[in-house]
Amino acid sequence: MSLHLSGVSKDLGGRRIVDDLDLDVDSGELVCLLGPSGCGKTTTLRMVAGFLIPDVGKVVIDGRDVTNLPPERRPTAMVFQNYALWPHMTVFDNVAFPLKLRKLPRAEIATRVEAMLELVGLTHHLRSRPAHISGGEQQRVALARALVQEPAVLLLDEPLSNLDAKLRVRVREDIRDIQQRLGITTLVVTHDQDEALSIGDRVAVMNGGRIEQVAPPDTLYHQPATRFVGGFVGAMNSLSGSIENGKAVLAGGTVVAVLTPCAAGGTEIAVRPEDVVLAPDGAPARVERVVPRGHFTEIVLDLGGTGLRAYLGPDDPRPAPDDTTGVRFRRALGYADGQLIG
């Protein structure tokens, strides 16, 4: 089932929280809604689920206008940011609840609930109550309760925020597997760019109640449509200057060669740290700091009075603080008024 938001706005507490938002999620697609805290992600999800009604605009699911329908009359299941588990029920009963509401046979409920709890690694907590399990475990119960319903549209609000790094990767891969296997149309809210890029078919970047760009992960990373998107998704060097004749001409007069074709113009130049290449005959730069980051090395350079971050691979020569080196850019993007040029 496809999901379609058009011109959706919502005011809360006298402020515009979601502002003329358009978003499409195709049938069976997983879209991540990524953005900083307070940008309106949860508010958007609540309007899709029916817990909030937009002031203007439409929510359409599978071609049907559901804008004013209550949650229980929509084909959606939502995992809330705060889990919203029933404290008086055991883990098993929490997950079984939506299936009991649908009056499924007891044996089928038991089979499905047990399979789902196995998937999220909580079989040993079947009889526990929410107060007696950890935050991460509660989060997994909430996830199991949504997934067990096999909804047509799944809405997840920061579903992995309380899991440790390892478990987070495992559970997000499991969510992706189930979602693909069952063809569930899914909208996942996150402020973790790594999570968004790794599971989303497409990622929608939201800022101040608006969507700045919706694109597949690679496009979003390599062609950020706005300066905000470039800075929010991954690390980005932002330098004053413009692109001229395939070179980056910085405001201070420093000229850096760019190794791949790039559109001319702009007042600001964006360069990913991994696209800063050290080359003895490049534009001179002084090494200020060398920071080991495990699988790569981060160095902070002074390039004509401007700070520049570079990531070096394990085989690259590693300079020392106060060394003078030369730099080139593998890729560079020009921005004017915060918008990508070209």
- Contact between 2 and 25 under an 8 Å Cβ cutoff? The reply is yes
Selection from ligand ATP, Mg ion, none that 200 binds (CB < 5 to 8 A by kind) is none
Selection from ligand ATP, Mg ion, none that 247 binds (CB < 5 to 8 A by kind) is none
Q: Quick check: 42 binds Mg ion (CB under 5 A)?
A: yes
Q: Which of residues 179-218 bind Mg ion (CB under 5 A)?
A: none
97: how many CB neighbours lie within 10 A of its CB?
Answer: 18
Binding mask 130-169 for ligand ATP (x = CB under 6 A): ----------------------------------------
- Contact between 221 and 233 under an 8 Å Cβ cutoff? The reply is yes
Instruction: Report the chain's terminal Cα–Cα distance, integer Å.
Output: 35
**Two structure tokens written together for 187:** 């909208």
Pick from 145, 191, 227, 309: which binds ligand ATP (CB under 6 A)? 191
Q: What H or E segment, with its residue span, contains residue 30?
A: strand 30-34
**Coil/strand/helix, residue 107:** helix
Whose Cβ is closer to ligand ATP: residue 24's or residue 192's? 192
CA angle 187, 232, 193 (to 5 degrees): 45
Selection from Mg ion, ligand ATP, none that 12 binds (CB < 5 to 8 A by kind) is ligand ATP
CA angle 215, 189, 148 (to 5 degrees): 115
> Where do we find the tokens 């005959």?
281
Whose Cβ is closer to ligand ATP: residue 42's or residue 94's? 42
Q: Quick check: 245 binds ligand ATP (CB under 6 A)?
A: no
> Where do we find the tokens 């760009």?
213
The residue range among 38-46, 96-104, 202-210, 322-330 that interacts with Mg ion, by the rule CB under 5 A, is 38-46
Q: Minimal CA–CA distance to 226: which of 341, 339, 342? A: 339
Binding mask 34-73 for ligand ATP (x = CB under 6 A): -x-xxxxxxx------------------------------
Whose Cβ is closer to ligand ATP: residue 38's or residue 321's? 38
Counting residues that bind ligand ATP (by CB under 6 A) gives 13
In the bound state, the residue with its beta carbon closest to Mg ion is 42
Q: At a CB cut-off of 8 Å and minimum separation 6, what does 62 contact?
A: 1, 2, 27, 75, 152
Residues that bind ligand ATP (CB under 6 A): 12-13, 17, 35, 37-43, 81, 191
Residues that bind Mg ion (CB under 5 A): 42
